[in-house]
Structure 1
């Protein structure tokens, strides 16, 4: 199974480093192929790279490590995504990070699914700050990743690499539950940046 990470920002770079260290077959995608190639070279000689369309074509699972507002253009550039699994990690936040631009009756994940009807969208990682992606940042701690989607096989594949990366994958139900998971991500942003906790916090669902 090959995983593409589209985007080389804090989340994209962090996820790519984590997956590369875990031993996954990886390809880096970026609208600028040279940027993708440069970052892939940092990760190791066996890491492939290319433009968004090239990376998407090579991969079985595509992590959209992009701001929500940039996803639609990336999907257009990716081309045919039929049969691909798309992992949406975004929170559809306002410019000041204090609110959501999508919610209540839909979600970023559902809007992305509508833009890519031939693909299967899975929601994951939107409640995790980039600072918590390295294994050493989570040493001795169990950090949950909520995984939502309508296809059990795809959700299982994503959950397996979530667990392999040292997180605890939590089945969060159908993709429509992203309507609830994304506000949790926004609340985590408030804890991290506006309520003094810093970007080393993450929500957990505790079963007693």
Structure 2
């Protein structure tokens, strides 16, 4: 698979290297061709580097790590990402005292509105980039969940495959509007890391458990979740 990394900072470099190790073709993009080439040289694995425009043109799947910048300022023309799968891994800035307003439009939904011809998928926003140093082994042994949401089912399944290849457990969260909940989970993880000093390895693992064989706690009403 051809993967373009848009913005080759810590997150983009880490995921790009992991995917290259799995045999994918990876192109690191940056604001300048020089920076993109420098990242590719560090990454090795026959990766390439250049501008964000070049990375977007190269990849069928694009990891979008740029936060708070309209795509029109990232690319010479947003048409370069038409019909591309665009993975949004961003969280909002941390509010003072973690006093966030209610999310009525996620960053992923905002991005999708700005580039309506791209297939935006939310993923990789609920862990610190240091965690990728453990991928894919021993990370796979810990069942760390990556929540994935998107309106295009085929694009979402492609991202789920990329999640699983590097040792994470993919959790299909349905349509893109559910990215509001995923981004809130990212805020919770950062709270745990900062205020409770849990470090970079605070994660979420979603597990399915078998039902109890008996109801020893009294006449419990069955849940009617739908």
TM above 0.5:
yes
Residue in 1 aligned with 2:85?
85
2-structure distance, mates of 1:125, 1:200:
14
SS of 1:125's equivalent? coil
Q: TM-score, normalised by structure 1?
A: 0.91
Judging changes above 3 Å, is the alpha-carbon distance between structure 1 residues 163 and 45 closer, same or farther for their aligned structure 2 residues? closer
What are structure 1's unaligned runs of at least 5 residues? none
The number of aligned residues is: 206
Judging changes above 3 Å, is the alpha-carbon distance between structure 1 residues 71 and 3 closer, same or farther for their aligned structure 2 residues? farther
Residue in 1 aligned with 2:184?
183
1-structure distance, mates of 2:117, 2:91:
22
Judging changes above 3 Å, is the alpha-carbon distance between structure 1 residues 100 and 17 closer, same or farther for their aligned structure 2 residues? farther
2-structure distance, mates of 1:64, 1:33:
17
Following TM superposition, by how much is the alpha carbon of 1:126 offset from its aligned partner in structure 2, in angstroms?
0.4
Judging changes above 3 Å, is the alpha-carbon distance between structure 1 residues 206 and 60 closer, same or farther for their aligned structure 2 residues? same
Structure 1 residue 34 and structure 2 residue 26: aligned? Answer: no
Following TM superposition, by how much is the alpha carbon of 1:137 offset from its aligned partner in structure 2, in angstroms?
6.0
Residue in 1 aligned with 2:107?
108
Following TM superposition, by how much is the alpha carbon of 1:104 offset from its aligned partner in structure 2, in angstroms?
2.6
What are structure 2's unaligned runs of at least 5 residues? 210-226
Q: TM-score, normalised by structure 2?
A: 0.84
2-structure distance, mates of 1:95, 1:158:
29
Judging changes above 3 Å, is the alpha-carbon distance between structure 1 residues 21 and 99 closer, same or farther for their aligned structure 2 residues? farther
Q: Deviations over 1:9-31 (max 9, x none)?
A: 22112111211212211110001
Following TM superposition, by how much is the alpha carbon of 1:7 offset from its aligned partner in structure 2, in angstroms?
1.7
Q: Deviations over 1:146-192 (max 9, x none)?
A: 11001110000011011111111110110000011101000000001
Q: Deviations over 1:111-162 (max 9, x none)?
A: 0000000001000000021111122562632211111001110000011011
Q: Which moved more, 1:9-18 or 1:74-83?
A: 74-83
Max Rg structure? 2
Structure 1 residue 199 and structure 2 residue 200: aligned? Answer: yes
Residue in 2 aligned with 1:59?
59
SS of 2:199's equivalent? coil
Q: Deviations over 1:87-127 (max 9, x none)?
A: 000011246583547x5321000000000000010000000
SS of 1:140's equivalent? helix
Query: Cα RMSD over matched residues?
Result: 1.9
SS of 1:159's equivalent? helix
Following TM superposition, by how much is the alpha carbon of 1:2 offset from its aligned partner in structure 2, in angstroms?
0.4
